[in-house]
Amino acid sequence: MAERARPISVAGKVMAILDAFALGDVRLNLSEICRRSGLPLATGHRLVGELVAGGFLERVPDGTYRIGTRLWRIGSQAPAVTGLRELALPHMEDLYEATHDNVQLAVLRDRRVLVVERLRGTRSVPVVTQVGATLPLHATGVGKVLLAYAPAEVREAVLAGGLPRHAPRTITDPEELRRCVEQVRRSGYSVTRDEMTLGAASVGAPVRDAEGAVVAALSLVSRTRSADLRRLLPPLTTAARALSRDVAAHWRGRPDALSAERKAGA
């Protein structure tokens, strides 16, 4: 007689609801949450309501839901992420003052980009990215950097897994993306134009540890029409090299938390 499947615990259902946001969508309605988590609508409605009451989710006026500030605060205490953010913020602030564009810091997690810090440029292109959000690797400046230096098996899995279109110039052909990330490895930086958001361009650069492994990516997001590499690339690469030196010095001689997190995420 076949063994009956064990019922999903309440904790399992809650984790399934929170995991529904892992694909990177900032807001989801109740039906989308239930579909992604595999829960009946009534169960999802009850548990989502409890998560909202506890501050783990927030209900937006249009009826959709997003991750709540309480969950952000808990997640941001992860040691590797906290240490990286603390090291990066002074360099990100200098980079913002030099360009007045959006500045993003991201790491590789589960074959996607995880944004761990962001400074919003008041005169730059509006962006919907939030700290803690995930983005596709193939359509973002930070993503192309992380993909270029990811383990080979991660690159191949992304190339084979489908490349959804997000904007008019998103690269959806695997061979074209392969050539693109090879160019990133040769040049040491990435460029996107109208690939993730229409009207937005980004330039990304790698952040390395003491062994030279890429553990994060730093980027500037600007308006497409003003995304001049002669303006953006020098301050970006200077900031990325300075942050790399701080990362190397901070974790030298210690267990490499950043590399461990990177391997786990890959």
Residues 148 and 259 in one domain: yes
Residues 60 and 187 in one domain: no
Residues 69 and 88 in one domain: no
To the nearest whole number, what is the mean pLDDT of the chain? 84
Residues 100 and 157 in one domain: yes
In terms of residue numbers, what domain contains 252? 76-265
Q: What whole-number distance in Å separates Cα of residue 34 and Cα of residue 44?
A: 6
Residue 3 lies in a domain: no
Of 73, 88, 119, the one marking the end of a domain is: 73
Task: Write the pLDDT tens digit of every residue in 81-121.
Answer: 668 888 999 999 999 999 999 999 999 887 888 888 899 87
Task: Report DSSP letters for 96-165, one per residue.
Answer: HHHH-SEEEEEEEETTEEEEEEEE--TTS------TT-EE-STTSHHHHHHHHTS-HHHHHHHHHS----
Task: Write the pLDDT tens digit of every residue in 144-200.
Answer: 999 999 999 989 999 988 899 999 999 999 999 999 999 999 999 999 999 998 888
Task: Write the pLDDT tens digit of every residue in 114-155.
Answer: 888 899 877 666 666 677 777 889 999 999 999 999 999 989
Whichever domain contains 55, its CATH number is: 1.10.10.10
Percent of the chain with pLDDT over 70: 82
Whichever domain contains 81, its CATH number is: 3.30.450.40
Residue 157 lies in a domain: yes
pTM over 0.75: no
Of 22, 51, 73, the one marking the end of a domain is: 73
What are all long-range contacts of 238-244, with beta carbons under 8 Å and residues at least 24 apart? Answer: 239/91, 239/92, 239/94, 239/95, 239/205, 240/205, 240/206, 240/207, 242/91, 243/87, 243/88, 243/91, 243/207, 243/216, 243/218, 244/206, 244/207, 244/208, 244/209
Contact 10, 122 (CB under 8 A): no
For residue 17, the SS3 value is helix
Residues 172 and 124 in one domain: yes
Per-residue burial over 81-120, b = 16 or more CB atoms within 10 Å of its CB, e = otherwise: beebbebbeebbeebbebbebbbbbbbbbebbbbbbbbbe
Residue 1 lies in a domain: no
